[in-house]
Amino acid sequence: MLATSAIRAQTADLDLVIRHVLAGLGHGLHAGRERGAGVEFSEYRAYAPGDEWRRVDWKLLARADRYYVREAERDSHVAVWLLLDASASMAEPSRRLAGLDKLGFARTVLACIAAIAQRQGDAFGLVVAGGDRMLFTPASRGPRQMHRVLAQLQRAQAGGGLPDASAVRSSLHFARAPSLVFAVSDGLEWPSPLSDALLRLRALQHDVRLLVLQTEAEAEGRFATGTGYRDPEAVDAPVGLRRYDAAARGAYLAARQAHFDSLATACRQRDVPLLMASIEDAVGPVLRSWLQRAGRR
């Protein structure tokens, strides 16, 4: 199946991956928009069997020689926001699947969320946090917005650390209106200004949903022994290089468990749906599980 991580690692065509991941997914983001024969015109779309003939635009048929249906909507005033952690640790690659890293998986999942938002007629925007700064794409609707968001996702590169608290606060303009926030991170820097912002948004009644990514090697502590490792986000630290051997594996796994237990507790206390996933998994089941978990809240 083309949506598996093995093949996804070999293609940079997000449009192609989106089509295969979303085929038969059957999940929306929310039920806050009514579409149909309303009074507020939204857009044209191609006629499909079962559409009411009274909604066909006959003037457009005469010009284009094709059947188009007028869509109308009642706006729910809920914007969908995609938040991507693009700090240096997101460049961590899979030790099993060549060409696959955490940023690539995150990019694909958020691109699928954007496609679902576009299908529902929602406004959606993108915030990329990395390189010690925030890149902000304002929320909008339609195919052009989809192209803008996909282009920004493609350009995102993992590097640097997460931005500081002032940079995060200045970029969270969407906090003034009800929002649906889909955040993807590896959760290694928690707490952080970014995690504090997510929890603060939830306290302000925004719908915040978090996906935390890991590699199989990280989850199981299966790293090459005798190798030196350095925190990619603290390369200037005086003590940054660490040796990993069989004796260190137990301490690593215990520290990792404690860290993510703390993260899960914070999300549970703030009613933030959390899903942890490995990047070696297929995107489709991960996306479906994330949406289902959020829907049960």
* pLDDT tens track for 275-287: 999 999 999 999 9
pLDDT one-digit tens code per residue, 1-60: 444 555 454 456 777 778 777 775 655 665 544 444 444 555 666 766 556 667 788 887
Comparing CA positions, the residue from 237, 227, 125 lying closest to residue 175 is 125
CB proximity list for 208: less than 8 A, separation 6 or greater? 181, 183, 198, 199, 201, 202, 270, 272
130-155 pLDDT per residue, tens: 988 999 999 998 899 999 999 999 99
Distance CA 154, CA 13 (A): 9
- Residue linked to tokens 């460049």: 91
Phi, psi of 35 (to 5 degrees): -120, 155
Burial of 223 (0-12, 13-18, 19+ CB in 10 A): middle
Domains, the chain, with CATH or none: 5-30+77-295 (3.40.50.410), 34-74 (no CATH)
Q: Tens of pLDDT along 202-237?
A: 998 899 999 999 999 999 998 877 666 666 666 555
Q: How far is it, in rounded angstroms, from Cα 271 to Cα 17?
A: 31
DSSP, collapsed to helix, strand or coil, labels residue 137 as strand
